[in-house]
Amino acid sequence: MKIIVFGSGCRKCEDLVKSCQEIISSGNIVATVHKITDIDEMINHGVLFTPALMINGKILVSGKVPLRKTLEEWIMNSV
């Protein structure tokens, strides 16, 4: 599984990265978490608001941090 967090480096973006890493670690899920901060790269992926989350090529949220429970469901359902 490939997880990408798009963000400028703000606290919300960092929290989203950390939450993703904690979920995959605690669930023994084989996944990679990447963070993209380059604005051109964000635009190429259709991201206009940050933080944004992409799992396996699909943007699931943009402009807000999802609830932890929601994030866990998205990750578990994408395995």
Domains recognised in the chain with CATH numbers:
2-77 (3.40.30.10)
* pLDDT the model gives residue 79: 83
Look up the pTM and report it: 0.92
Q: What is the mean pLDDT of each run of 10 residues along the chain (79 residues)?
A: 94 95 94 96 95 97 95 94
Using an 8 Å Cβ cutoff, are 52 and 59 in contact? yes
Give the alpha-carbon dihedral of 5, 65, 22, 73, to 10 degrees.
-100
Tokens of 56: 């396996």
* pLDDT the model gives residue 9: 84
Using an 8 Å Cβ cutoff, are 6 and 46 in contact? no
Measure the CA angle with vertex 72, ends 52 and 7; round to 5°: 15
